[in-house]
Each structure stands twice: as C-alpha cells, then as structure tokens.
Amino acid sequence: MRLPRGFFSRETSSIPRQPQPRASLRSQAFWIAVLAVLVGPGCRNDSPPDPPRRPNVLLVTFDTLRADHTTPYGYSRPTTPGLAALAAEGTVFDAAYAVTPTTLPSHATLFTSLYPDEHGWVRNGIRLAPKSVTMAQLFRSHGYKTAGFVSSVVVSVYFGIDAGFDDYDDRMEGKRKKLQRNAQSTTDQVLDWLSRQTGEQPFFLWVHYMDPHWPYDPPEPFRSQFAAAPGSSESQREIGRYDAEIRFADQQLSRIVANLKQRGGWDDTLAIVTADHGQGLGQHGWPTHGPLLYEEAVRVPLIVRWPGHIPSGRRVAFPTGLIDLLPSVLGLLDLEIPAGLRGHDFSKVWTGESEGDPKPVFFQREEYEGHEVKSRSATIPVAGAKWGVRHGRWKLIVAPDEQTLELYDLVADPGELENVAPHNPETVRSLMGVVDDWRAQASPGERPTEHLDEDLAEKLRALGYGQ
C-alpha cells in the first residue's frame, strides 16, 4: 500500500502550522492508523536473515617439507619467517603426519579423507577420475569459487587430482619446463587470479609449491645465505640448498598473505599450511623419500589460522594426520561431513573447545614389485608393502615381505635410532592388532585401467620417481 504523497512532508515542513479543519484532522488520524498497521506485527519481515558469508579458505602445501626444517618447529636456521608469522597468529600441530611419503597419493588423501588403497592413487603416475567426493567438490557445492595452482607435473590435470576445481593452473615453465615451475612463477599466477575476484563469492584456493623437492636449485640470495661452510661434506651442502629452497618458497607464501591483507580479506580467511611429506636428507641411509616411513619422511608441518575462531600462539601435541584435515575443516565451517570419511573431525580441537581424543595415526608406502630401489647414490632393499602406526609415544613399522618389524619410543628416541620391539612384546602385539583392524576395514578403491604414456613416465623419472 502507498502512503499519500507528501505524508512525511507534513511532519517536516518549516511553515508555521495553521489550525486544521475537523475533517482534515480525521483524515490525518486515518492515515496515522494506516501507518501503524504497516509497521505492526502483520507487516514485519519474518523471513530469516541471510546467513553470514563464509570465510575464504587458503590451503598451501609445500612439497617435500620436513617439519623439523621450519622455524615454528624449532629449526636453528631462519628458513620460514612467513610460516612463523602464521604460527604466531594461529595453532601449530606438533605431531602432524602425511599418510604416505609420495606426492600424488598424499594429496589425494588430504582431499578425500580416504587412505590410498581406498581412493586408488596408491603411487605417483596413476590416472583416475575420482569416485569419492573431494574437498574442492564439497566447497563448490556450498557456493565457493574453487581454484588450484600447482607446481609439478605429478599433480597435473592428467592424473585427475583437479576434480572440483573451477580453475586449475598446472602450466609448467622455467628451467625444468614441463616438469615443474618455481614458487615465484606459481605465485604470480595466484596473484593474477586474486586480482580478478570481486569478493562477492568466497573462494577455496589451493597453492602447491614444489621447490623443496630434489633437485635443489635455489635462487639468490637464498643460495648464498644458506650455503654450507667451506670444507663441508656434499650432504651438508645439499642440506643447505634444500633449506634455501624452503626459504624461497616461504617468501612466496608471504607474497600471497600480503596481497590478501591489501585486499582486506585476510582476517576473513581460514589459512592452512602443510606439506605432502618430508625428505630423508641422508637419515636412515636415504636421501629422498618414498620407501621409508621414518619421521623425516612422514612428519610434516601443520598450521591453521582464522582470527576469532582458532586461538593464536597455541600448540597441539597429540598426533594427528592429514587424513583428518577434510572433516575438521567441514566441522569448523559448520558444513555437513559426508559419510564414509576415514579421518576424524578435530574442529573443536582447532578452536580450543576440546583437548581432543587422540586416535592412532596410520602410514603406508606404495607397494614395490622389485627387490631394491635407488635414489642417486643410495640403494636399499624393498619388497611389497610397508605400514606403520603412531599411537601415543609409540610408533610401529612393519613390512611383511621384507620380514621387518620396528618399534620406536618417540619420546625417548625421536630420531628412531633404537628398535625396541624385542623388549616390548606386549606393545608390539597391541599395535599389530591395531594395524590389522585398520587393514581389514580398508575397501580397495578404483585402480587405473590404462598405462602411463612414455612421455609422462619419463618426466616422473626425471623428478626421481619410478622403480
């Protein structure tokens, strides 16, 4: 219903008011009554208010990044000041684990909350159209704009890991064209994409940095900054180049953070930074990653930050796995968690509402068909599968075909130097039962039906992958 023209002007006119005829007063009273009806209970807007806009979600994964070579985890060299700044504003998980020390399967577990045997990416080089729902697909179903920027052919579109992404940039360039690109090149593309976002739609953005991966070729000034002292061994020189690669990638992460701050959306962004696996660096006789499940290969950084929701400067000590990431993010954002996920919702641990109920954390490597595996100057025997579990202070590693069984007390022996299995038969028996139950629950997922073409196979071998 329209109010009569000039209704409000009668109340605001600066002309002195003259006595009104009775009929005119009755008319004015009528319209006052009409106004009361309009603003009364019958005309209120009883529809629920629009839900608050969901936060942006930034997920950054560093390839091949050991937790103990980063500043928030106590490393003596200043490799990650950007990560340290994030840690000061968020929560650090001291014992976070990748499910496997291999890039494609580890990322697939992070995105699906399933184990490699279940989602099907059991090793690099497998091409699949995922049957299970992915993190990107879930975010897109909830109205998010989804984008991924990756830095290695290992996670290119060809292998199906791009499921659910509206935009997926896997263009490789630079010295190792068609194999990988450096963090600066990837970040340039990320910032270009961010410049085209209006802010009306929340985004889920995945950024993958390959730089800490072998072969190490850091740019200046980081190469010189982290160079080993004259007379150092080749291993020490290689660690210096590895650390320099980390510092370079950390700098590029800081560029993204600075851009989001400048855009004004940083405090409304849930930021998660982790890695797909670690790196041997000569420990346990192995320079890279893949066949071994020791701490240097599977323990990764995990830092989460969202002001007003996740406490700042907090550390969580109990073990957790990247398989828990998807359900925890969904729980934190109050989104439905699909049935069948194998990870646990630790969102209340993230927010500080709960200390958590620690669960066993499982690991596995790909199943080797040969008798040995080589990485540059190192060769170790391999046979079949290898599994592991971390529960409390204990870590068990078992390889049935290699006839090896190892037990480590990570509190007393964090470097896993003394196998105490012979002295703790009851602990071994208990953890073997946990592993057996886990293996019995796994339902084999899809397997590839086609062979990898020779061009891609050669590219993977150039990055150190292949039996």
- Quick one: which of 193, 144, 186 has its CA closest to 329? 144
User: How many whole angstroms separate alpha carbon 179 and alpha carbon 172?
Assistant: 6
Q: Which residues, listed in sequence order, are joined to residue 363 by a DSSP beta bridge?
A: 388
Q: Return the half-sphere exposure (C-beta side, CA atoms, 13 A cut-off) of residue 14.
A: 0
pTM of the model: 0.85
Residues 109-133 have pLDDT tens digits of 999 999 999 999 999 988 888 788 9
| Per-residue pLDDT of the chain in tens (467 residues, 90 and over written 9) | 333 333 333 333 333 334 444 344 344 444 444 334 444 444 445 555 556 679 999 999 999 999 999 999 999 999 999 999 999 999 999 999 999 999 999 999 999 999 999 999 999 988 888 788 999 999 999 999 999 999 999 999 999 999 999 999 999 865 555 788 999 999 999 999 999 998 889 999 999 999 999 999 999 999 999 999 999 999 999 999 999 999 999 999 999 999 999 999 899 999 999 999 999 999 998 889 999 999 999 999 999 999 999 999 999 999 999 999 999 999 999 999 999 999 999 999 999 999 888 899 999 999 998 778 887 778 988 999 999 999 999 999 999 999 999 999 999 999 999 999 999 999 999 999 999 999 998 766 655 544 555 555 565 555 555 54
Q: Provide CATH code, domain 372-444+452-462.
A: 3.30.1120.10
| Alpha helices for 284-424 (secondary structure H) | 295-298, 325-332, 347-351
Residue extents of the structural domains in the chain: 56-361, 372-444+452-462
Return d(Cα 449, Cα 443) in angstroms, integer.
Answer: 18
For the domain made up of 56-361, the CATH class stated in words is: alpha beta
The dihedral region occupied by 74, where left means phi > 0, alpha psi between -120 and 50, and beta the remainder, is left
What CA–CA distance (Å, rounded) separates 35 from 224?
Answer: 77
Which residue, chain included where needed, has tokens 């019958």? 42
